[in-house]
Amino acid sequence: MASKNLSERDKKHLWHPLTQHKLHPEMLGIIKAKGAMLYDERGKGYIDGIASWYTCMYGHCNDYILEKVYGQMQELDQVVFSGFTHEPAVRLSEELIKILPPNQEKLFFSDNGSTATEIGIKMALQYHFNQGKKRPVLLAFEGGFHGDTFGAMSVSGLSVYNGPFEEFFIDVERIPVPTPHTIHALLEQLETRLQKQDIAGFVYEPLVQGAAAMQMHGAEELAQLLELMGKYRVLTIADEVMTGFGKTGTNFASDQITSKPDIMCLSKALTAGLVPMGVTSCTREVYDAFYSDEISKGLFHGHTYTANPLACTAALAGITLLQSDEIQSSIRRIMASHRQFDAEIKDHPKVAATRQTGIIYALDLKVEMERYGQLRDRLFEHFMDQGVFLRPLGNTIYVLAPYVISEEQLKRIYGSIKMMLEKL
């Protein structure tokens, strides 16, 4: 059991993400987690309404996953993946390929979502370079977020994260997310631009832009964009780090889009929140552009913990759970509960808009506020006081809970939102 002064000890040496420590010096000590619950050092419990940044989708400390990983720990913990291979990585490749879109054939392992995207960007740029073509430009959606490494930051459109570094970025052009009203004009403008033949790849979050406050867009319009990219041999890179593994109601958001990506980036729920890992998958055509007698045409990118056997084992266990009748039933149940809650809340005078894709539900408040301002902090404190862990994105409240969450726990989340609306 951890001692009950974690916050004070934390202050001595630790630097936390997305934190201005002078304004927010206190960190809450969490000592235990199980299912959909987190417990602090005082013994108070919190419903994890965002699955700890969309990772622990099968619940914290899931017994099945722990058992599988513990068994693997007795056999092989870590080995270099350059020149070696191992059973967990081979099995994971076999099982992951089964549930990915059918055009995906090759997997490249890394450590997290940012690196998965970074590798996707490098694949796209080097794909053309290896063929003697000069295509130094990337396309990305406005408002997207793809990670914190330099390539991933370059294609991200949120200056709150990227401001000090933008002069160092690779060359990226942004396009608006299409709507049924704008798609035709956008396609016309984009086709004129693509004729310059200097764009290597298009990076996008399919259906839901997570860090952009869960903004959602249609599959049909996105498919038309992707088809146009294919016409001009612009590689399409689907960042499914947030959306992957069931959250949109299908295994991957790309399953709902008729045009499939050339490259996919996976992480977060990939390993069920137990250990870090990223995967970048691609088509045979992409891979073949690197397959050569020339060593320099290989993809010279590597991470020390690439394809870590424990992470691969956790991912295998997660895929088994994702495909189970129990989890699939829970996904449908959560989707239905969100729809019922939406019917109750969408016409509230303090609600500006609501939206849902799969188990991802979001509502916008009719109030102007900063993304990380004082009002946002008060909203966060309200939810924590109610025993609910939600992280508002500016004036957007969203719910993305573990698949194992109970109906009672969901109702507590909904109740805390209703109470917030009355207090706002």
pLDDT tens for each residue of 12-37 = 999 999 888 999 899 999 999 999 99
Q: What is the pLDDT of residue 160?
A: 65
Q: Is residue 332 part of a domain?
A: no
Cα distances from 10 to residues 2, 21, 43, 189, 402, in angstroms, run 12, 11, 19, 52, 28
Percent of the chain beyond pLDDT 90? 89
SS3 213: coil
Domains contained in the chain, number: 1
CATH of the domain at 143: 3.40.640.10
Residue 271 per-residue DSSP state: G
Q: Is residue 75 part of a domain?
A: yes
Sign of CA pseudo-dihedral 202, 312, 398, 390: negative
Q: Is residue 44 part of a domain?
A: no
Rounded Cα gap, residues 207 and 185, in angstroms: 20
Rounded Cα gap, residues 251 and 236, in angstroms: 19
Q: Which two tokens stand for residue 329?
A: 């039933």
Q: Is residue 59 part of a domain?
A: no
pLDDT digits (tens, 9 = 90+) for 303-359: 999 999 999 999 999 999 999 999 999 999 999 999 999 999 999 999 999 999 999
Q: Is residue 2 part of a domain?
A: no
Q: Is residue 374 part of a domain?
A: no
- Give the domain range for residue 294: 65-322
Q: Is residue 369 part of a domain?
A: no
Q: Is residue 31 part of a domain?
A: no
Rounded Cα gap, residues 89 and 315, in angstroms: 10
pTM (two decimals): 0.96
pLDDT digits (tens, 9 = 90+) for 175-195: 999 999 999 999 999 999 999
